[in-house]
């Protein structure tokens, strides 16, 4: 006789399955706008590089409705509509379109990002890239997959032999990024920035990028990526805690061969 499945494990698996389904559904809605951007209405947030579109709002509304219909007592946090507390102990953290700037300019570097928390622990994460039909999914203790196949971070990459994914925004001084980039290049490394931190974190989990660093991200941008990378055998700098990541903080993640060099390089700018 097989051992009974723990209730929490089943509850997480059920939420992971729903996250996969609604990420695909929301992705289809966003992809329709992406293919006909004449329908988009766009508003600025902080500045001209920080924008939101009607597609972001429509997709987040859909995600919230689907989650509430299945798990009405779960909490919800989304980039566009904020925090709604729940009573079940589970909380969903979502970015309906991570990479809105590439999205509105017709660049296929954006994704739907959904994480599930139990208490203060991220227990599942899903990142879906509609333009390539790639679904990254992970559950705490259950491994990470890409379209159903197991993935692992690179076992060989270093900052000198792989590529660093880089995030940047206007929430931190420009010198924070520029000094670290200078140090990286001086040491023989290289970087790429595609405009979607969540998608680049998924690329780390899949072994495509060696590491990822961004000096300021919010929970909805990075929580799905955290569990993907850990379950794929990578490392993360533990987030500063739920309340801190609501406001935003640094994200540093990577494959095993990048840790010491990356942490040294990004610490150097603060000296």
d(CA 105, CA 226) in angstroms, rounded, equals: 27
d(CA 4, CA 2) in angstroms, rounded, equals: 6
Q: Token match 């589970």: residue?
A: 90
- Joined together, the tokens standing for residue 270 give 């603060």
pTM given for the model: 0.91
User: What's the pLDDT tens digit per position in 101-157?
Assistant: 899 899 999 999 999 999 999 999 999 999 999 999 999 999 999 999 999 999 999
The pLDDT of residue 3 is 41
In the chain, what are the helix, strand and coil shares in percent, each to the nearest 5?
A: 40, 25, 35
Tell me, what DSSP letter sits at residue 240? S
Q: Which domains does the chain have, with CATH numbers?
A: 7-150 (3.30.540.10), 164-268 (3.40.190.80)
Give which of 17, 53, 16, 50 is closest to 32, Cα–Cα.
Answer: 53
* Residue 241 region by backbone torsions, left for phi larger than 0, else alpha for psi between -120 and 50, else beta: left
Per-residue pLDDT, averaged over 212-231, amounts to 95
């Amino acid at each position: 006789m097989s051992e009974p499945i723990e209730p929490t494990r089943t509850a997480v698996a059920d939420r992971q399955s729903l996250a996969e389904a609604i990420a695909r559904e929301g992705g289809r809605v966003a992809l329709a706008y992406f293919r006909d951007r004449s329908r988009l209405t766009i508003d600025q947030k902080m500045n001209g590089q920080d924008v939101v579109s009607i597609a972001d709002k429509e997709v987040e509304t859909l995600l919230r409705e689907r989650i509430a219909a299945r798990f009405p007592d779960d909490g919800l946090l989304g980039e566009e509509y904020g925090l709604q507390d729940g009573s079940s102990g589970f909380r969903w953290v979502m970015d309906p379109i991570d990479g809105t700037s590439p999205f509105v300019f017709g660049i296929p570097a954006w994704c739907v990002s959904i994480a599930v928390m139990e208490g203060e622990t991220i227990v599942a994460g899903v990142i879906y890239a509609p333009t390539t039909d790639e679904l990254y999914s992970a559950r705490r203790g259950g491994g990470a997959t890409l379209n159903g196949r197991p993935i692992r971070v690179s076992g060989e990459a270093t900052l000198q032999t792989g590529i660093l994914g880089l995030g940047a925004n206007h929430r931190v001084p420009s010198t924070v990024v520029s000094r670290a980039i200078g140090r990286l290049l001086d040491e023989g490394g290289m970087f790429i920035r595609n405009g979607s931190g969540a998608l680049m974190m998924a690329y780390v989990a899949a072994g495509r990028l060696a590491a990822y660093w961004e000096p300021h991200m919010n929970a909805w941008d990075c929580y799905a990526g955290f569990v993907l990378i850990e379950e794929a055998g990578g490392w993360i700098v533990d987030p500063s805690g739920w309340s801190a990541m609501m406001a935003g903080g640094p994200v540093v993640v990577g494959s095993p061969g990048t840790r010491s060099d990356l942490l040294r390089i990004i610490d150097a700018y603060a000296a």
